């Protein structure tokens, strides 16, 4: 069931999972502690302190073990390893993304246009398509297989949730396959995808519903690697634990050749 909805919608959710609750009991204090590391703060505190980005901040191994925790198991991992064919490949180090009341405020290095896009369009993006140089030309520089998200703290659905444009993976995928299908994977990072990406993003805004993906601690969700997604602003009725709205994300890279294919089989 999950696989069908994943391929149709570009994401799928997993209900409360005792395996995950157990794992989080070990991992949560270690994950939240990264926020207090002054070096990591310098690197990752953005939007005037309303967002700790925390990319690869968690010190987990490839099986998801942190300190004396067990490996990361459960329904979402089973889905990734078996249904999506990730197999026994190792996980990357998880991102610890924490939003606070008031997110987003403008960063000094952020243009007015970027800030407006963050506020009005949730800084919607596809992972791996980076803006490069002063012209912000879009290049495909990272090749993550999927995005696995797991809340670390209790927060309601107004507290800067993840949002997805449901079904956008099909629009983005079609556009990228057209642009890159005949080019050797080794050359993809050199291809300027700006116009292709912007057109596909516009079509996704027009044709795909914006869906708030909210989960409780012990639940999880998996996004297709081409799904357009972002973070909604902290809402007027947002509530979270004092630690903020914290979510762990795994985003391990896969073989470049397999990145562009339509299906997972």
| Count of residues that bind Fe ion according to CB under 5 A | 1
Question: In whole angstroms, how close is the CB of 25 to Fe ion at the nearest point?
Answer: 27
Residue closest to Fe ion, measured at CB: 127
State the Cα–Cα distance between residues 129 and 143, nearest whole angstrom.
Answer: 9
Which stretch, 30-38, 43-51, 64-72, 126-134, contacts Fe ion (CB under 5 A)? 126-134
Unique residue bearing structure tokens 């064919």:
85
Nearer to Fe ion, 69 or 97 (CB): 97
Nearer to Fe ion, 50 or 97 (CB): 97
Among 9, 92, 122, 127, binds Fe ion (CB under 5 A): 127
Contact set for Fe ion, span 177-196 (CB under 5 A): none
Helices (H), 140-227: 168-180, 194-207
Question: In whole angstroms, how close is the CB of 156 to Fe ion at the nearest point?
Answer: 21
Helices (H), 10-57: 18-33, 38-44
Nearer to Fe ion, 69 or 204 (CB): 204
Is position 17 an interface residue for Fe ion (rule: CB under 5 A)? Answer: no
Exposure class string for 127-153: b at 16+ Cβ within 10 A, else e = bbbeeeeeeeebbbeebbbbbbbbbbb
Question: In whole angstroms, how close is the CB of 125 to Fe ion at the nearest point?
Answer: 6
Question: In whole angstroms, how close is the CB of 22 to Fe ion at the nearest point?
Answer: 27
Nearer to Fe ion, 17 or 127 (CB): 127
Which stretch, 97-105, 120-128, 154-162, 173-181, contacts Fe ion (CB under 5 A)? 120-128
Alpha carbons within 13 angstroms on the beta-carbon side of residue 126 total 35
Question: By the 8 A CB rule, do 160 and 245 touch?
Answer: yes
Question: By the 8 A CB rule, do 139 and 191 touch?
Answer: yes
Question: In whole angstroms, how close is the CB of 236 to Fe ion at the nearest point?
Answer: 25
Nearer to Fe ion, 127 or 219 (CB): 127
Nearer to Fe ion, 69 or 98 (CB): 98
What torsion do the CA atoms of 229, 132, 248, 67 make, to the nearest 10 degrees? 160
Between CA 235 and CA 247, with CA 241 as vertex, the angle to 5 degrees is 75
Interface residue list for Fe ion (CB under 5 A): 127
């Amino acid at each position: 069931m999950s696989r069908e909805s994943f391929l149709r919608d570009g994401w799928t959710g997993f209900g409360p999972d005792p395996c995950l609750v157990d794992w989080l009991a070990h991992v949560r204090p270690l994950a939240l502690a990264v926020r207090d590391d002054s070096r990591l703060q310098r690197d990752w505190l953005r939007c005037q302190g309303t967002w700790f980005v925390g990319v690869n901040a968690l010190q987990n191994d490839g099986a998801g073990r942190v300190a004396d925790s067990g490996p990361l198991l459960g329904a979402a991992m089973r889905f990734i390893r078996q249904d999506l064919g990730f197999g026994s490949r190792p996980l990357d180090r998880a991102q610890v993304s924490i939003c606070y009341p008031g997110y987003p405020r403008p960063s000094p290095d952020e243009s007015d246009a970027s800030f407006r896009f963050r506020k009005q369009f949730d800084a919607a993006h596809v992972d791996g398509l980076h803006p490069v140089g002063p012209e912000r030309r879009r290049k495909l520089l990272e090749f993550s297989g999927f995005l696995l998200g797991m809340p670390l703290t209790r927060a309601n659905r107004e507290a800067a949730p993840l949002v997805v444009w449901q079904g956008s993976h099909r629009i983005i995928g079609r556009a990228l396959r057209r642009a890159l299908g005949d080019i050797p994977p080794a050359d993809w990072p050199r291809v300027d995808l700006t116009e292709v990406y912007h057109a596909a993003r516009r079509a996704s805004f027009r044709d795909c519903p914006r869906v708030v993906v909210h989960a409780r601690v012990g639940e999880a969700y998996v996004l297709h690697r081409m799904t357009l997604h972002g973070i909604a602003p902290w809402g007027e009725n947002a509530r979270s634990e004092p630690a903020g709205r914290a979510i762990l994300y795994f985003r391990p890279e896969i073989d470049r050749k397999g990145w562009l294919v339509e299906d997972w089989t």
